Amino acid sequence: MKHDVDQCVLCSLCNLGGEAYQLSKDERRAPRHVVWNLKKGRETPALYSFMLNGRTEAHCPVKIAIDAEVIDGRRKLVKRGVETVENKKMVEKILDGKNPYKS
């Protein structure tokens, strides 16, 4: 059973799976904060640095599909024109008919 972000109880157990957060203790990078933002309908560029390795949702007691929600959030960001520099470069190369992975 998978729930959406509205079911998040902010327990912060997902933070156990956040490698960047564990190292930095930076609350802005906390998986809980990413989910909180999504719950509020705020897709922030921090979604691009979220690791989609399933570790955060593995710790979620409510079984929220965090990775899928993050991917969905990234889609919304792209639609709004908020992209990473690397992503923009790749798209430009594709449009120019070049290899997107070659620097």
Partner 1 sequence: MKVKAMRRMVAHGDYLDDEESLRAYSYDASGVEQIPLVIVRPRHVEHVRRILVHANQYRIPIVPRGSGTGLRGGAVRKDAVIMDLRGFDTIDKLDTQLNTVDVGAGVTFKALKEWLATHKYSFPLEPSNQMATIGGLAAQNVITEESMLFGDWTEMVARIECFDGLGRFQVLKGKDVAKVLGWEGSTGVITKLRLNVIKTHKRTADVIHVNNPSEALAHAERASQIQGTLMIEYLDEFSSKLMGLSADQHVFIVYANDAGSYKDPLKVNELVQARKRLTHALWNEGYLFEGEASLEEEQIERFVARCEAAHVPCYGHLGVGIMLAGLKSAAELEKFRVNVVALGATPGGKYGYGRVKKEYVPQALRKEAIKLKDQRDYNMILNPGVYV
Select from 41, 40, 20 the least CA-distant residue to 30.
Answer: 20
Q: Which residues bind partner 1 (CB under 8 A)?
A: 1, 3, 7, 9-13, 15-16, 25, 27-28, 30, 33, 36-37, 44, 46, 61-63
Task: Please give the structure tokens belonging to residue 2.
Answer: 């998978």
The distance of closest approach from Cβ of residue 33 to partner 1 in the complex, given in angstroms and rounded to an integer, is 5
The distance of closest approach from Cβ of residue 99 to partner 1 in the complex, given in angstroms and rounded to an integer, is 35
d(CA 37, CA 20): 17
Cβ count within 10 A of residue 40: 10
Nearer to partner 1, 23 or 95 (CB): 23
